[in-house]
Structure 1
Amino acid sequence: MIAGFPLNLVAFVLVVVLFSVGVSTLVVWLGLVVLLVATKVVFGFAATNRALLRGALGVDIPTPRISYDESGSFWHRYLRRLTHPQMWRNLAYLLIAFPLHAFEFPLAIAGVIILPVGLFVLPVIAALHIMLARALLGPNTTEQLTQKAERLQASRARGVDAAEAERRRIERDLHDGAQQRLVAVAMGLGRAKSKMAADPEAAKALIDEAHADAKLAVSELRDLARGIYPAVLGDRGLDAALSSLAAKCPIPVEVNVRIDPRPPAAVESTAYFIVGECLTNIAKHAGASEARVNAWREERPTGDLVIVEITDDGQGGASMRPGGGLSGLADRAATIDGVMTVVSPIGGPTVIRADLPCVW
């Protein structure tokens, strides 16, 4: 509140002066240039106030997306920006914020000296200020719904692609693995049946071979089912499942999981497969000597997140290329409105992080 007063004092003076000069000189066209500068100043101070609220109060107000017709001359585009509703919402905030900050400034000074004011009055004033800022500096309801619809549409498209890729993988594994084994079992048993009377020893050898193939088919089907949804994940949760993945990795992996209560099954399975694929990539390509997996639950005003972070000390250089494995993991995360980021400079270390919402 103390920091916001000088900022909005400067903003108020500049905005009033620029708009007064701009409107009064419109008859000589100089006013258009002044109003252009005023528009830039208004949007700049609006962005600065959003940054101040984010840094001081931890309130993230999304920047409204301004869309208007880009056709026509520079002045036509500028006039459309000048008359955009968000321009006037920003201006309204700056005009209201100055007297509000002037009131908050002596109140904040008093709150430093008088403890009850700081403990009980200032939070209420701050909450009202945040409501005002969200209403004027943030996107309106229509814009929010439009952005959410576009985000969900993109997420749905990526989810369909990820599901299709997973279906093809399952079909390929069935065709190349268990199906071939079962065909071999059927053929072996058929040959054994035909030899049973004439050559019992040969029939016994064929039955033994068919039995071995049947056990391999069962093993491959079990591995395939584990790839779809591992039993340990459903029975014992993410901590045990990630520890199981780490135990199978050929390099040492430290696992720290702090997730309570358990998230939805879709979140758990997404986190599990992201970690599994990342550990496989680390073992094959990273040249790392150790890795670390951290998973924790984080409370946010918009809903809890499960955050999974995989770090290795390898050679780095990993990136999300179209059609690549990491891009496929990002698509899997997007199916539940999650976001995956990769930071992997040449020489390492590599940090892969997935932010997975518990509600979507």
Structure 2
Amino acid sequence: MPGVGLLIGGVLVTWVASGLAAVCLTPRNAAARSLLAAGLLLAASTGAESVAREVATPVGFALWRTAGWITFLGAVAAIVLTLTRLPDGVADSVWHVRLGRTLAVLAVAAPVLELVGAATLAVDADSPARENPVALAGLEPLGTAGTVVRATEPAWVLLGIVLLLLRWRNGSAQRRRELSWALGSIGLLAVLLALIVVVEVAGAPVPPEPVFVPLFLLALALFPVALLIGITRRVRSLEARLVESRERLVTAEDAARRALERDLHDGVQQQLVAALSLTALAARHLERSPEVAGATVSEVGERVRGAMTELRELVRGIRPPVLQDAGLVPAIESRLSSLPAAVELHTDPDAAARRPAAVEAAAYFVVTEAVTNALKHAPGSRVAVRITGVGGRLETVVADDGPGPGPGTSAGGGLRGLQDRVESLRGSFSVTGAPGTGTVVRATFPDSGGPR
């Protein structure tokens, strides 16, 4: 079909340019990096496919054809990774991470299985099959399995789009605003991919090529642009929230300083002043009335012990000693054990690894504040805390099965301050739920260079 090569070139340029722009905007964003990887792999796939069509030797054809399919399926896996991390670059759950890894393995395994097990190979469904000299006798079932897995690649993208829809549905209002345009723009591609799946599975009539191919390539070119816009919206949102969070942090710092001054003045300082006065009184009674002096000294000791207790409570509110000495999980266990209601705690082995002090402190206060809110606003409900560490990341989730947030409810001052604290560490923070379904407070901290 005339002009198809030009259209394909335009699609590849759009993919690579969108990926480069996304990485330049947010170099630490995993969604941006996987978007760029998808564009580069698509370009490599096209090049390998062109070489495979022209190469004369059977072995060269088989190897280049396999390389073309590995890079193409790798690009599809990268697209799914992008969709599961759009727009902030963080996956919502561990199984999203595992899904991406599984697809990456299948992208390599399926073409390799065909290479070693299929008697004939073809670049695509429209090209003639050629003999595969690399195939080994007795491995035909492996070749068939590879062909079946490779044929499911349109469903991979559909799965990624479904996951993106779920992220939009379960996300905060902020995330929905960031993803709304991207979801609307990729609807055409989703419909066309669904059509491909129906045609391949049910053997339905193939749409007219002069209409379908340009439409599909146009949708494929708009796809990375839509993802780039989603990432760009995230950047703009972060810029606006950065200004607001700085203002809130300054205000919160002043308020915390004044509260600390008030607590010290009304509590510890008064105790120490009283102890100082009693010490002077004991000195005056020391020679005339030793018994009175002894009783006064005992009262001085009580005052000093009281001041020490208040100081420990103040320090606990700033940063618990057990958090610094033993780490996040023991600090959470200690805090939950002192609560009047039972709270479930679930951790994995990686959660106990030490991390930077700022990350551990932020995670600790997110959990304690969320648990306190759950016990206060949803008394009698089941409250569960989950702390996981996957691939260097740290995630804390506090969930209850209470009445959930009411319509129009937003994060209070305490949670808003914690959100600022989490995002200052390049993490993500969300409060989700609906009336009657409970509330989930989630904080995710990216890999900060490994445990500390």
**Under TM normalisation by the shorter chain, which class is it?**
0.5 to 0.7
Question: 1:284 corresponds to which residue?
Answer: 376
> Quick one: structure 1 residues 264 and 198, their matched pair in 2 at CA, closer, same or farther if it must change by over 3 Å?
same
Q: Deviations over 1:106-158 (max 9, x none)?
A: 499x9995839978xx9xxx9xxx99976896269999987765554444444
In structure 1, what residue type is equivalent to 2:387? Answer: A
In structure 2, what residue type is equivalent to 1:271? Answer: A
Instruction: Give the fraction of aligned pairs with identical amino acids, expressed as a percent.
Output: 34
User: What SS class does the counterpart of residue 241 from structure 1 fall into?
Assistant: helix
User: Among residues 41, 51, 57, which one is paired with 2:80 in the alignment?
Assistant: 57
> Quick one: structure 1 residues 189 and 253, their matched pair in 2 at CA, closer, same or farther if it must change by over 3 Å?
same
Structure-1 separation of matches of 2:233 and 2:433: 35
Alignment of 1:159 onto 2:236: no
Structure-2 separation of matches of 1:233 and 1:163: 22
What's the offset of the Cα at 1:343? 2.7
Q: Deviations over 1:31-56 (max 9, x none)?
A: xxxxxxxxxxxxxxxxxx99x97996
Q: Deviations over 1:146-176 (max 9, x none)?
A: 7765554444444334433333332232222
In structure 1, what residue type is equivalent to 2:414? Answer: G
Structure-2 separation of matches of 1:106 and 1:239: 55
Contact 2:327–2:352 under 8 Å retained in 1:
no
User: What SS class does the counterpart of residue 281 from structure 1 fall into?
Assistant: helix
User: What SS class does the counterpart of residue 323 from structure 2 fall into?
Assistant: helix
User: What SS class does the counterpart of residue 288 from structure 2 fall into?
Assistant: coil
User: Among residues 320, 326, 347, which one is paired with 1:236 in the alignment?
Assistant: 326
Q: Deviations over 1:91-117 (max 9, x none)?
A: xxxxxxxxxxxx996499x99958399
Alignment of 1:115-264 (within 5 A): 115=146, 138=228, 152-258=242-348, 259=351, 261-264=353-356
Question: 1:268 corresponds to which residue?
Answer: 360
Q: Which moved more, 1:252-261 or 1:203-212?
A: 252-261
Structure-2 separation of matches of 1:342 and 1:143: 20
> Quick one: structure 1 residues 57 and 114, their matched pair in 2 at CA, closer, same or farther if it must change by over 3 Å?
same
Q: Deviations over 1:48-89 (max 9, x none)?
A: x99x979962214868xxxxxxxxxxxxxxxxxxxxxxxxxx
> Quick one: structure 1 residues 261 and 199, their matched pair in 2 at CA, closer, same or farther if it must change by over 3 Å?
closer
Superposition RMSD on alpha carbons, in Å?
4.5
User: What SS class does the counterpart of residue 197 from structure 1 fall into?
Assistant: helix
> Quick one: structure 1 residues 348 and 189, their matched pair in 2 at CA, closer, same or farther if it must change by over 3 Å?
farther
Contact 1:288–1:315 under 8 Å retained in 2:
no
> Quick one: structure 1 residues 243 and 189, their matched pair in 2 at CA, closer, same or farther if it must change by over 3 Å?
same
Question: 1:353 corresponds to which residue?
Answer: 442
Contact 1:250–1:283 under 8 Å retained in 2:
no
For structure 1, list consecutive stretches of 5 or more residues without a partner in the other structure. 1-8, 13-48, 64-102
Alignment of 1:307 onto 2:395: yes
In structure 2, what residue type is equivalent to 1:171? Answer: E
Contact 1:310–1:351 under 8 Å retained in 2:
yes
Q: Which moved more, 1:267-276 or 1:304-313?
A: 304-313
For structure 2, list consecutive stretches of 5 or more residues without a partner in the other structure. 8-37, 40-74, 88-121, 130-141, 158-219
In structure 2, what residue type is equivalent to 1:273? Answer: F
> Quick one: structure 1 residues 107 and 349, their matched pair in 2 at CA, closer, same or farther if it must change by over 3 Å?
farther
In structure 1, what residue type is equivalent to 2:81? Answer: G
Contact 2:272–2:307 under 8 Å retained in 1:
yes
Q: Deviations over 1:241-276 (max 9, x none)?
A: 111111111111111123264332111101111111
In structure 1, what residue type is equivalent to 2:347? Answer: V
What's the offset of the Cα at 1:347? 4.0
